[in-house]
Amino acid sequence: MTERIEGHGGELALAALRAYGVREMFTLSGGHVFPLYDAAHRTDFPVYDVRHEQTAVFAAEAVTKLQRRPGLAVLTAGPGVTNGISGLTSAFFNASPVLVLGGRAPAFRWGSGSLQEMDHLPLVRPVTKHAETVFSTEDIPRAVAAALDAALTPHRGPVFLDFPLEVVFSVGEADQPTGAAPAPLEADPDEVARAAELVAQAERPVIVAGSDVWSGDAVDALRAAAEALGVPVFTNGMGRGALPPEHPLAFAKARRAALSGADVVVVVGTPLDFRLSFGDFGDAKVVHVVDAPSQRAGHVETAASPAGDLRLILTALADHVGDRVDHTDWIAQLRVKEDAAKARDAEEMAAETDPIRPARIYGELRRVLARDAITIGDGGDFVSYAGRYLEPAQPGTWLDPGPYGCLGTGMGYAMGARITHPDRQVCVLMGDGAAGFSLMDVESLVRQKLPVVMVVGNNGIWGLEKHPMRAMYGYDIAADLQPELRYDQVVAAMGGAGETVTKAADLGAALERAFDAGVPYLVNVITDPADSYPRSSTLA
């Protein structure tokens, strides 16, 4: 029998959210959403508050990424919602099932000029899967369920609801939603068979696996498919660590050789976007395995593109019967390139330069980071280096901003990570420029006893912009920051701690102190502004 729930709008919303496994709220105070706080307060539902709404949405997104369940941000009407738009957009690009609940000026006097009276929907519609204003209290649980069903159905993504003031403050009664997970979408079996045949018959196949492999809980199936068909695997986004770095089919450095030498490239659970040369792999045939038909690339002619539940598709690839070409030589060839690149990286990570180069910071970090540490990248060049030198050992441990490339995720992602994994190391790698977007939220972390380690690559510039601008114009403007700024003192002033490091030899001990500190701790590393991340294209 369907259970009935009753209470004010906040209580109805929270009861529905609980059914979907939502376990906390991220917010910044505003009167329009008080009933949601009241519902949380009465039921001991954890509420984490922040100093900028973008942090609330990024924190909710980190929870979705790490725990593979919906995350919740509650934003007050008007500026609360508009401050959350970059977070929502990042979640949209990352297919993260974030629910934003917005306050809204009263409906009964709409048009009379209430405080913060604006219609949020035209703003959020392009960056959400579902956006709705709920006009009656009784309708709230249904609307929450509809929004979360949309958010959790692959291809996943954020959703938005707002509640006019009188709707959320009034009392009502409704059916309790069940919160059932969406049924898996089965791909066309012929398309799957075609993909399997292409891989099995390939001479030099490569798999590139991305975030949806993790969010679709298909990591084991990926490994089984790669092992059954003997295919080298590269990863990006949340796919990183899907195969442990020591696995014979796990590759990271030989990507260029692999993608230019392959005859079949299988891209699983990630778009054929700028991170993958827009799907242009020379003469190689492209197999694009996606979690929903909407994700098939329109700009690339693929040889096969199965769309559906990734675990089912990858399991079918693993179970493929029939001949398959032996790939031992191809794998060995790539392994030589991989090992050579690793040796070069190892040298750079050990280099004793003055000023310090970012590579050395990562060399030291690799010594202190545990296999299950959560690492978060927020910055330009400094984070490109993180992607290159850090090798996540487990899936679901690496958080980058994703293809929207929004600076400012740092403290929000850190908050979501610390709440998800109270006992693990959480380490945020920040450019000094990126730090400016969210550093005030260290105060939120300190106050709510959420210790994390921040490592700032402090080159005194917006490096990823300054170097390309100089290369293009011969000069640069609007690309300088205050050199050697004491970001560690900023953190200390807010109740955390930290230190500045200028010598490579001092890095190791500083990082150890940081992880032992028990409060938010910032290691401010003065790095070489002349150093820039080598890339083939100058624009990022």
Interface residues with ligand TPP (CB under 6 A) are 379-382, 405-408, 431-434, 457, 459, 461-465
Question: What is the number of other CB atoms lying within 10 angstroms of the CB of residue 468?
Answer: 18
Residue among 164 and 463 whose Cβ is closer to ligand TPP:
463
| CB closer to ligand TPP, 99 vs 407 | 407
Choose the contact partner of 406 out of ligand TPP, Mg ion, none; CB within 5 to 8 A by kind. ligand TPP
Q: Which is nearer to ligand TPP, 76 or 459 (CB)?
A: 459
CB-wise, 79 or 436, nearer to ligand TPP?
436
- Is residue 103 within 8 Å of residue 141, measured between CB atoms? no
Query: Nearer Cβ to ligand TPP, position 433 or 498?
Result: 433
465 interface partner picked from Mg ion, ligand TPP, none, CB below 5 to 8 A per type: ligand TPP
If you ran DSSP here, which 8-state letter would residue 480 be given? Answer: B
Mode of pairing for the β-strands spanning 4-8 and 171-175: antiparallel
The burial class, CB within 10 Å (0-12 / 13-18 / 19+), for 336 is: exposed
**Which position has the token pair 């000069």?**
475
Q: How far is the CB of 359 from ligand TPP (least distance, A)?
A: 12
Instruction: Give the nearest residue (CB) to ligand TPP.
Output: 431
405 binds, among Mg ion, ligand TPP, none (CB under 5 to 8 A by kind): ligand TPP
Q: How far is the CB of 490 from ligand TPP (least distance, A)?
A: 15
3-state secondary structure 90-125: HHHHCCCCEEEEEEECCCCCCCCCCCCCCCCHHHHH
Compute the least distance from the CB of residue 375 to ligand TPP, in Å. 16
Contacts (CB under 5 A) with Mg ion, residues 393-432: 431-432
Work out what residue 407 binds among ligand TPP, Mg ion, none; the CB cut-off runs from 5 to 8 Å by kind.
Answer: ligand TPP
Q: Please give the Cα distance from 391 to 394 (Å, whole number).
A: 9
**What torsion, rounded to 10 degrees, do the Cα atoms 420, 424, 429, 434 define?**
30
Q: What is the smallest separation between the CB atom of 405 and ligand TPP, expressed in angstroms?
A: 5
Nearer to ligand TPP, 93 or 163 (CB): 93
Q: What share of the chain is helix, strand, coil (3-state, %, to 5)?
A: 45, 15, 40
> CB of residue 434 vs Mg ion: minimum separation in angstroms?
8
283 dihedral zone (left: phi>0; alpha: psi -120 to 50; beta): alpha
Question: Residue 30: in which H helix or E strand, if any?
Answer: none
* Closest CB to Mg ion: residue number: 431
The site partner of 464 among Mg ion, ligand TPP, none (C-beta below 5 to 8 Å per kind) is: ligand TPP
What's the sign of the alpha-carbon dihedral 65, 124, 411, 500?
A: positive
Classify burial at 118, counting beta carbons within 10 Å of its beta carbon; exposed 0-12, middle 13-18, buried 19 or more: middle
For residues 425-454, which are near Mg ion according to CB under 5 A?
431-433
Q: Which of 54, 420, 444, 459 binds Mg ion (CB under 5 A)?
A: 459
Query: Rounded to whole angstroms, how far apart are CA atoms 255 and 85?
Result: 34
Closest CB 126 distance from ligand TPP, rounded Å: 18
The Cβ of residue 349 has, within 10 Å, a number of other Cβ atoms equal to 21
State the binding partner of 408 from Mg ion, ligand TPP, none, CB within 5 to 8 A by kind: ligand TPP
Where do we find the tokens 């009753």? 6
Is residue 78 close enough to count as binding Mg ion by CB under 5 A? no
Q: CB-wise, 76 or 409, nearer to ligand TPP?
A: 409
205: left (phi over 0), alpha (psi -120 to 50) or beta: beta
| Residue 407 Cβ vs ligand TPP, minimum distance, rounded to whole Å | 4
Instruction: Kindly tell me which of 397 and 409 has the beta carbon lying closer to ligand TPP.
Output: 409
DSSP 120-185: -HHHHGGG-SEEEE--SGGGHHHHHHHHHHHHHSSSP--EEEEEEHHHHHSEEEEEPP--PPPPPP
Q: Is the Cβ of residue 308 or residue 380 nearer to ligand TPP in the bound state? A: 380
Least distance (Å) between residue 125 CB and ligand TPP:
21
From candidates 216, 396, 463, 520, binder to Mg ion by CB under 5 A: 463
Min separation Cβ 461 and Mg ion, Å: 5
Residue appearing with tokens 């011969």: 474
Say how far apart CA 163 and CA 184 lie, in whole Å.
31
Q: Of 88 and 267, which has the nearer Cβ to ligand TPP?
A: 88
* Interaction site with Mg ion (CB under 5 A): 431-433, 459, 463
